[in-house]
Amino acid sequence: MLDMNGDISITVVCDNNPCKEGLETAWGFSAFIVGAEKTILFDADGDGSILLGNMEKLAIDPQGVDLVVLSHVHGDHTGGLDGFLEKNSKITVYLLKSFPTKSKDNVQAYGAKTVEVEQSLKICENVYSTGQLGRLIKEQALIVRTERGLVLITGCAHPGIVKIVNAAKDFLKDDILLVMGGFHLEWATRGKVEKVISAFRDAGVRYVGPCHCSGDKARRLFEKHFGENYINVGAGKVIDIADLR
């Protein structure tokens, strides 16, 4: 079971924003979560060599991963999966039911198990999927329950980051400590970003860590409004939940 003292740690393995020197950055996203019942890789970047190279530099052993959760089907979140499965196929991959059959068959061909996600569900103790959200581009986000509140990790937030936040709150009936990942605000106007920030405030979100497809404008605005509760996320960033008050 998860130690509810908040000993969850999230390492951003891949992102297009830099954080730690020596890591390769490219358009994509992947995060490694430890401290829960299972160790989890959320998304697999767009390139297996970058994913595995950054994992090696961060001293993350692919063999130490129990589960992979894929937010959505786009290549910048799934492209590195084959390379990863060549290193560790003794895992379960949580992917959306709407993924092409070819994608599911490919994972199983490596010997990995697949779980097709449609409704919100429990992945392991205190770790959940929001379930398949959105209409045109379907997506799931990962939720980790801690004693300080929910940690929500998004891939690209195609269904709308506010909708995902509200879905997580509605599902687990708890406060949100941190929202991090891609917010899909790269091309959003300042007005739209500020509406999202206002909605985060209304939802009681305490910390934010926008990265990937969030865009520099949105990142600056979130930093302006959240101040010391803004987390600068990029490749190599480690977030220890125990440090968030």
- Ranges of the chain whose pLDDT falls below 50: 1-3, 5
> What residues make up the domain containing 191?
9-243
Residue 79 within a domain: yes
- Domain total of the chain: 1
Residue 2 within a domain: no
Instruction: Tell me the CB-side half-sphere exposure of residue 42, using CA atoms within 13 A.
Output: 29
pLDDT in the model for residue 87: 98
Q: Structure pTM?
A: 0.97
pLDDT in the model for residue 5: 46
CA distance 49 to 3: 33
Residue 150 within a domain: yes
CA distance 156 to 39: 21
Residue 3 within a domain: no
CATH number at residue 186: 3.60.15.10
Residue 70 within a domain: yes
Predicted confidence (pLDDT) per residue in 162-185, tens digit: 999 999 999 999 999 999 999 999
Q: Are 163 and 194 in contact (CB under 8 A)?
A: no
Residue 1 within a domain: no
| Amino acid letter, 230 | Y
Residue 52 within a domain: yes
